[in-house]
Amino acid sequence: MGLTPRASRGPILTPKTMPSRTFSFKLWRRSFPATLPTTKLMYRLLRKMGGIEKLRLAREAMSELFPLTPTMWREWAKDEASIDSGPEAVHAIEKLYERGVLDYLSVSLWCDYLSFVLKSDEMVCDCSSADISKARNLFESALTAAGLHVAEGIKLWEAYREFEQAIFQTIDPSDIQAKEKQIQRIRTLFHRQLSVPLVNMRSTLQAYRAWEMEQRNDLAVESSDLDGVPSHIVSAYQRALEGYNARVHLEEQILRQDMPESEKLQQYMIYLKFERSSGDPARAQVLYERAIADFPISSDLWLDYTRYLDKTFKGGNIVREVYCRATKNCPWVGELWVRYLLCLERGHASEKELAAVFGKSLQCTFSTIDEYLDLFLTRVDGLRRRLSFTAEVEDVLNYSLIRETFQNASEYLLQHLKNTNGLVHLHGYWARLELSLGTDLVAARGVWEDLLRICGSMLEAWQGYIAMEIELSHINEARSLYKRCYSKRFPGTGSEDICRSWLRFERQFGTLEDFDHAVQKVTPRLEELQLFRLQQESKSIVERENPLKKNAREKRKPGSDLIQEQSLAKRQKDAAQTSKKLYGKDKAQDSNLVEPNKVKEINAEVENENSKNEQQMKDAMTGKTKVYKDQCTAFISNINLKANSEDLHNFFGDVGGVHDIRILHDKFTGKSRGLAYVDFSDDAHLAAAVAKSKQMLLGKRLSIARSNPRKSRKDLSGHDCQMEHVDATGDLP
């Protein structure tokens, strides 16, 4: 299955210079506050030169890149107001303020916004009952955004009360009903404010009592602050005062001017933990907004904020708007984009909006390739869920979008994910959806074939392809895949694993003839791999013993190991030809099934000759016939299989003179055999070591004797055997 040509799907960025681009963008974004004086100077020069239009375009372009500071929004609005004060200009300036208060929480910007509306909007200034609601709605929005700001929220409350009191003065004294209604509105504002923990709460209470006295209520002048105040207002005020006292120390910490930024951010996190534990999401959100205003590009803060909103509000416009700002402030954080897409999906956003956000995310530069992979998979997950589980599917939504996303992901990530499990997972997911949603078996196989052309040396790619065919009960197709890959060279023990996997497959699904055929193919391959690994282990031991040989080997070409493996295959082939000569053509063909012992004897001869050649090469390079001669050596048996060289060294610590320790391991499993040789510096130390026989080590009673290679002893099974010298790998021959 070929991929659709790139040109037919539009341009797409590739992350070729991710680290450098990410670093440069973040450095520029972090240094932006320091460049504000230069930016302001540029703005002033443009004003003097009469370049207001150019200035407007520059600001618009900058606001597209990232949120502007409250100061910049304020200056922009003032510049626009100085040009024109007509109705259209007033509406445009209001839009600027509206955009500004959405970027960052700023009580000062809200106050400017409210002041501008009250002074410039003629309908509000005329106090028309039909249009005063506009100002009230704006005040309510301001209180929702910043009314819980402990340090500065009082400014908005007082401005709101002053506005309502100004309206009260314009009401005709004869209109008793309207005046009473306005009085009740002002009283409600006082009650609401007194229930919120803010600075100067006592002065607010005193202002409330003074206002009530003006309304000719029976409040004694010399009484205490709470005398005559309704009981429910007193209770709310006392709770708010307790809340303020609990926060006043935390407020002092974040408002300090002599504190380093890192410490200030830490104080914010302590304060946020307190607010989250208080159980008031609105207060916690306002504090998060205050922290964001001070640390706009702290990715950890944005991640913590959005995580809290996801948990608390479970989607909705509030969370969606915060994610939009988060990705605008920290576009290099892939996790924010992933969670933004999930938030949109929870909110049942349209495909158009989801596609737009996904497209924006691909224009960003992330620090790791895994972030790109996670982003593509999140997009596919969303499309799959909407196609599979949504009752009402949009007309534009079909499986072709999933296929196109996978194609883009494959091209986008191939350079960085080649021969990785991430790419295998991506193609496995793709093939599975081609079957379940696309109902196209040919396309699913094409996905795996494309992957094998790219990552044919990965065992996981073949295993995934085979697993799909087995799951579909396509036994012959799975068998053909085993035949294609069993002779390939995979890293680690992958070559042996695929051979044994084929045998297990034939046991479960094949006939006896299929199993015999697999055995005939796999057996020589396993023997070849075993011989190759033994020689590699032998070489590694020799290299450790003789650094000169190691240096010589390092100068060999990188492909020498592969050449040697090929030579081993050639020797196996020669052995098969020899068997044909000895036993006839027909017998040679069935040697693995009819006369396996004869084939093993021939292979043993080949291996014996190879080992002789190897030993001759060792002797020529080292000048020695044996690495160890066992002249002052103790042979230890019945060792705990978990014991290591350090344990044995500590065991003989009171004896001393330990020169070398060789624990014997099984050649095939690599596990300890419970046997070891310990070399000592002289016979006196060796005799003292033998005297420790029958003592305990890690729960096992050791058997210690002097090693004598020429003396016949009995092995663990009770049969007579010759105690030959241990080979250089530490394994028994």
For the stretch 90-115, pLDDT in tens is: 888 999 999 999 999 999 999 999 99
How many Cα atoms occupy the beta-carbon half-sphere of 175 within 13 Å? Answer: 10
The token pair that represents 722 in the structure block: 């010759």
Across the chain, mean pLDDT equals 80
DSSP state letters, 559-596: THHHHHHHHHHHHHHHHHHHHHHHH-HHHHHTTTTT-H
User: What's the pLDDT at 577?
Assistant: 53
Radius of gyration of the chain (CA): 41
SS3 425: helix
Which pLDDT tens digit goes with each residue over 30-75?
Answer: 444 444 455 555 555 555 555 677 888 888 888 887 889 999 999 8
Q: Which of 732, 718, 614, 613 is nearest to 674 (CA)?
A: 732
Q: Report whether pLDDT(722) > 90.
A: no
Structure tokens at 497: 């694993």
Among 681, 643, 683, which residue's Cα sits nearest to residue 663? 643
CATH number of the domain encompassing residue 348: 1.25.40.10
Helix 475-485, helix 459-471: angle, nearest 10: 170
Picking from 342, 367, 392, the residue at the C-terminal end of a domain is: 367
Q: Are residues 30 and 100 in the same domain?
A: yes
User: Does one domain contain both 127 and 190?
Assistant: yes
State residue 560's pLDDT score. Answer: 46
Domain for residue 134, yes or no?
yes
Cα-Cα end-to-end distance for the chain: 52
The better pLDDT of the pair 28, 104 is held by 104
692 and 609 together in one domain:
no
Residues 74 and 181 in one domain: yes
Cα separation values, 337 from 313, 448, 707, Å: 18, 29, 68
Q: 246 and 314, same structural domain?
A: no
User: Is 237 within the bounds of a domain?
Assistant: yes
Q: From CA 326, how far away is CA 313, in angstroms rounded?
A: 17
Q: Is 80 exceeded by the pLDDT of residue 571?
A: no
Q: How many whole angstroms separate alpha carbon 427 and alpha carbon 448?
A: 7
Identify the pLDDT of residue 217: 58
Q: How many domains does the chain have?
A: 4
Residues 6+ positions from 606 with CB-CB distance below 8 Å: 571, 572, 574, 575
pLDDT score, position 173: 86
pLDDT computed for residue 88 by the predictor = 83
Domain C-terminal end among 252, 286, 312: 252
| Among the listed residues 725, 733, 732, 705, the one whose alpha carbon sits nearest the alpha carbon of residue 624 | 725
Q: Does any domain span residue 181?
A: yes
Model confidence band, residue 22 (pLDDT cutoffs 50, 70, 90):
very low
Number of residues that this document lists for the chain: 733
User: Quick one: tokens of 352?
Assistant: 């158009």
Helix H or strand E segment including 643: none
Highest averaged pLDDT of the listed ranges 16-25, 369-378, 661-670, 678-687: 369-378
Tokens 């608390």 sit on residue:
312
What CATH number does residue 656 fall under? 3.30.70.330
Q: Mean pLDDT, to the nearest integer, of 374-386? A: 95
pLDDT at 13 over 50: no
What is the number of helices (H) and of strands (E) in the chain?
Answer: 32, 8
Residues 235 and 270 in one domain: no
Torsion angle (degrees, nearest 10) of CA 612, 614, 620, 624: -70
Q: Give the burial string for 523-557 (b: 16+ CB within 10 Å, else e).
A: bbbebbbebbebbebbbeebbeebeebeeeeeeee
Instruction: Return d(Cα 290, Cα 284) in angstroms, integer.
Output: 10
Is pTM, for the whole model, over 0.75?
Answer: no
| Claim to verify: residue 227 and residue 272 sit in the same structural domain | no
* pLDDT of 535: 85
How far is residue 396's CA from residue 384's CA, in Å, rounded to a whole number? 14
Give yes or no: residues 157 and 276 share one domain: no
Q: Which of 195-204, 245-254, 309-318, 609-618 has the weakest average pLDDT?
A: 609-618
Same domain (yes/no): 96, 229:
yes
> Is 232 contained in some domain?
yes
- Amino acid letter, residue 449: E
Phi first, then psi, for residue 315 (nearest 5°) are 90, -165
pLDDT digits (tens, 9 = 90+) for 146-194: 999 999 999 999 999 999 998 888 888 888 898 999 999 999 999 999 9
Contact status, residue 380 vs residue 37, Cβ threshold 8 Å: no
**Contact call for residues 186 and 164 (beta carbons, < 8 A):** yes
Helical spans, DSSP H, in 546-701: 547-554, 560-583, 585-589, 596-622, 645-651, 683-690
Residue 98 in any domain: the answer is: yes
| 389 in a structural domain | no
With cut-offs at 50, 70 and 90, classify the pLDDT of residue 670: confident
The residues, any chain, with a CB within 8 Å of residue 359's CB and separated by 6 or more, are none
> Residue 587 above 50 pLDDT?
no
Task: Give the structural domain span for 569.
Answer: 543-622
The two structure tokens encoding residue 33:
């506050």
State which of 575, 603, 622 marks the end of a domain: 622
Least confident of 246-255, 349-358, 724-733: 724-733
Q: How far apart are CA 295 and CA 110, in angstroms?
A: 20
pLDDT at residue 631 in the model: 74
Q: Do the domain assignments include residue 504? A: no
C-alpha closest to that of 572 among 531, 611, 613: 531
Position 281 confidence tier, pLDDT thresholds 50, 70, 90: very high
- Name residues whose C-beta falls within 8 Å of residue 98's C-beta, 6 or more positions apart in sequence: 113
CA distance 457 to 469: 19
Percent of the chain with pLDDT over 70: 74
635 bridge partner residues: 677, 705
Residue 25: band (very low, low, confident or very high) from pLDDT cuts 50, 70, 90: very low
Same domain, 265 and 243: no
Q: Which of 636, 620, 647 is nearest to 726 (CA)?
A: 636
The confidence score (pLDDT) of residue 555 equals: 54
Domain assignment present for 34: yes
Q: Is the pLDDT of residue 262 over 70?
A: yes
Whether residues 168 and 267 share a domain: the answer is no
Beta strand extents in 136-285 (DSSP E only): none
Task: Give the residue with greater pLDDT, 9 vs 578.
Answer: 578
- The helix/strand/coil state of 676 is strand
Segment 114-126 shows an average pLDDT of 73
Say whether both 667 and 596 belong to one domain. no
